[in-house]
Amino acid sequence: MTEPSRAAADDQGPAEPFLPPGAASAAVRQRVAVLGATGSIGTNTLDVIARHPERFEVVALSAHRQLDALLSLCERFRPRWAIIDAVHAPALAHGLRARGLPTVALSGAEALTEVAAHPDVDTVMAAIVGAAGLAPCIAAARAGKRLLLANKEALVVGGEVFLQAVRLGGARLLPIDSEHSAIFQALPEDPATWPQRVEKIVLTASGGPFRTRDPATLATVTPQQACAHPNWVMGRKISVDSATMMNKALEVIEARYLFGFAPQQIEVVIHPQSVIHSMVQYRDGSVVAQLGTPDMRVPIAYGLSWPERMASGAEPLDFGRLGALTFEAPDASRFPCLFLAWEALAAPAGTTAVLNAANEVAVEAFLQGRLRFDRIYVVNRGTLEQCLPSKPQDLADLLALDAQARACAAQWVRRLQDA
């Protein structure tokens, strides 16, 4: 493959899990592309990488619009490529030259996919938020990369199309969401034994900032309140998803595809302390849980070093100061978005992509002050009922379905604004 050009499913999931069994250690020095480098996952990834310079080399960094942050990262890590949107590409190129850096400035979706598949890239951290991260994930999968998946949409939107790329490319797919990483760590090493040994998997949820708030008052929630997560420091979109528990709905769908369990074998429980990151219940009644401080560097370090383990920089748990760990069932009146996950999984192929697109439109409208918080669910529900997908066969079908669902969701937003 040449250098990147300078820029201007099935709804029920796979028959088998798509996580790797035990394997040999990764190469001594991995060449890593961090897509979404200026977000919370990207910055935590780079923090872990910086602790192990003998093991990792950063060869590519991308950011959507965060020009100054991307330039600072380029000064620190000196990657071969830096990718930004077309509007900021000239300023990126100028800034790199002014700093005397050898990094090549690229822009656009094509550059992301070419870098993700480039032969000089061993590992791709897929941390671009939203459906925009789908194409580079598929490109990395087709090219057989070690793919650290922090982008929910690759599975929620991509479904069987994405997993087919994993199959054909022989990619090594490793989950970075703290919940899915926890499940991966708590399952038996050999996926062939899972159906005989595992009863169900349990995803934990913090409950976000409105866990105890009266549902009748959610209409007045502001973006600032919705983004004030009690445990995690995250971007605005995922913070809102946590407040509605739509993030957990997407994680249920993601878990279905990753692990191959039936939807009814996936449970969600609210655990406000965010110490137990998820659990596996076995046929004999035993429950294996993965615990740790709420720090994304733990699952990131595990993904980078798997099947080994290495220091992440996170503080270890102090059991003497831990206090009580509590659990509760999610309330459908407070978190109706969560329960859309099982409905979407039971619907025709492509429905999970519709749900994701609707939610992205609704959350953006809420953050812009055009939609009430409690109406995010109304947009999601209405779009699911109105936008009926045909089974997508390839990336073009997925993108067309995504556009169709977004248009439908935008109509719902306008309708609710006028109401």
Residues 321 and 323: their CA atoms lie apart, in Å, by 6
Is the pLDDT reported for residue 10 higher than 80?
no
Q: Does residue 369 fall inside a structural domain?
A: no
With bands split at pLDDT 50, 70 and 90, how would you rate the model's confidence at 241?
very high
Which residues, including other chains, have CB under 8 Å from residue 354's CB and lie 6 or more apart? 344, 383, 384, 387, 389, 401, 405
Q: 316 and 194, same structural domain?
A: yes
Q: For residue 38, say whether it is annotated as part of any ligand binding site.
A: yes
Q: Does residue 410 fall inside a structural domain?
A: no
Q: Does residue 271 fall inside a structural domain?
A: yes
Q: Does residue 71 fall inside a structural domain?
A: yes
* pLDDT average, residue stretch 252-276: 95
Residues 43 and 293: their CA atoms lie apart, in Å, by 18
Percentage, residues of the chain above pLDDT 90: 83
Q: For residue 39, say whether it is annotated as part of any ligand binding site.
A: yes
Q: Does residue 386 fall inside a structural domain?
A: no
Is the pLDDT reported for residue 7 higher than 80?
no
Highest mean pLDDT among 48-52, 191-195, 221-225, 232-236: 48-52
pLDDT of residue 233: 67
Is the pLDDT reported for residue 380 higher than 60?
yes
pLDDT of residue 5: 42
Q: 198 and 101, same structural domain?
A: no
Q: 113 and 78, same structural domain?
A: yes
Percentage, residues of the chain above pLDDT 70: 92
Q: Which domain holds residue 249?
A: 178-216+245-336
Q: For residue 151, say whether it is annotated as part of any ligand binding site.
A: yes
Q: For residue 62, say whether it is annotated as part of any ligand binding site.
A: no
Higher pLDDT, residue 28 or 127: 127
Q: For residue 2, say whether it is annotated as part of any ligand binding site.
A: no
pLDDT of residue 19: 63
Q: CA-CA distances (angstroms) from residue 228 to 152, 156, 240, 368, 418? A: 21, 25, 9, 16, 29
Q: For residue 179, say whether it is annotated as part of any ligand binding site.
A: yes
Q: For residue 153, say whether it is annotated as part of any ligand binding site.
A: yes
Question: How deeply is 157 buried, as exposed, middle or buried, from its count of CB atoms within 10 A (0-12, 13-18, 19+)?
Answer: buried
* pLDDT average, residue stretch 82-107: 97
Q: 184 and 283, same structural domain?
A: yes
Q: For residue 25, say whether it is annotated as part of any ligand binding site.
A: no
Q: 66 and 39, same structural domain?
A: yes
Q: 151 and 256, same structural domain?
A: no
Q: 204 and 91, same structural domain?
A: no
Which pLDDT tens digit goes with each residue over 284-299?
999 999 999 989 999 9
pLDDT of residue 375: 97
Q: Does residue 300 fall inside a structural domain?
A: yes
Q: 183 and 316, same structural domain?
A: yes
> Three-state SS across the chain?
CCCCCCCCCCCCCCCCCCCCCCCCCCCCCEEEEEECCCCHHHHHHHHHHHCCCCCEEEEEEECCCCHHHHHHHHHHHCCCEEEECHHHHHHHHHHHHHCCCCCEEEECHHHHHHHHHCCCCCEEEECCCCHHHHHHHHHHHHCCCEEEECCCHHHHCCHHHHHHHHHHHCCEEEECCHHHHHHHHHCCCCHHHHHHHEEEEEEEECCHHHCCCCHHHHHHCCHHHHCCCCCCCCCHHHHHHHHHCHHHHHHHHHHHHHHCCCHHHEEEEECCCCCEEEEEEECCCCEEEEECCCCCHHHHHHHHHCCCCCCCCCCCCCCCCCCCCCCECCCCCCCHHHHHHHHHHHCCCCHHHHHHHHHHHHHHHHHCCCCCHHHHHHHHHHHHHHCCCCCCCCHHHHHHHHHHHHHHHHHHHHHHHHC
Q: Does residue 384 fall inside a structural domain?
A: no
Q: 186 and 328, same structural domain?
A: yes
Which pLDDT tens digit goes with each residue over 299-333?
999 999 999 999 999 999 999 888 899 999 999 99
pLDDT of residue 18: 62
Show which of 176, 197, 232 is a domain's final residue: 176
Q: 132 and 47, same structural domain?
A: yes
Show which of 301, 336, 371 is a domain's final residue: 336
Q: 74 and 143, same structural domain?
A: yes
pLDDT of residue 76: 97
pLDDT of residue 21: 54
Show which of 176, 208, 233 is a domain's final residue: 176
With bands split at pLDDT 50, 70 and 90, how would you rate the model's confidence at 77?
very high
Q: Does residue 151 fall inside a structural domain?
A: yes
* pLDDT average, residue stretch 328-344: 95
Q: 312 and 284, same structural domain?
A: yes
Q: For residue 305, say whether it is annotated as part of any ligand binding site.
A: no
Is the pLDDT reported for residue 221 higher than 50?
yes
With bands split at pLDDT 50, 70 and 90, how would you rate the model's confidence at 238?
confident
Is the pLDDT reported for residue 283 higher than 90?
yes
CB-based burial, 76-96: b 16+ in 10 Å, e otherwise: ebebbbbbbbeebbeebbebb
Q: For residue 278, say whether it is annotated as part of any ligand binding site.
A: no
pLDDT of residue 9: 38
* pLDDT average, residue stretch 360-385: 97
Is the pLDDT reported for residue 89 higher than 90?
yes
Q: For residue 145, say whether it is annotated as part of any ligand binding site.
A: no
Q: For residue 41, say whether it is annotated as part of any ligand binding site.
A: yes
Q: For residue 318, say whether it is annotated as part of any ligand binding site.
A: no
In total, how many domains does the chain have? 2
Higher pLDDT, residue 152 or 85: 85
Share the mean pLDDT of the chain: 91
Place of tokens 């009644």: 285
pLDDT of residue 1: 45
* pLDDT average, residue stretch 370-374: 96
CATH number for the domain spanning 124: value is 3.40.50.720
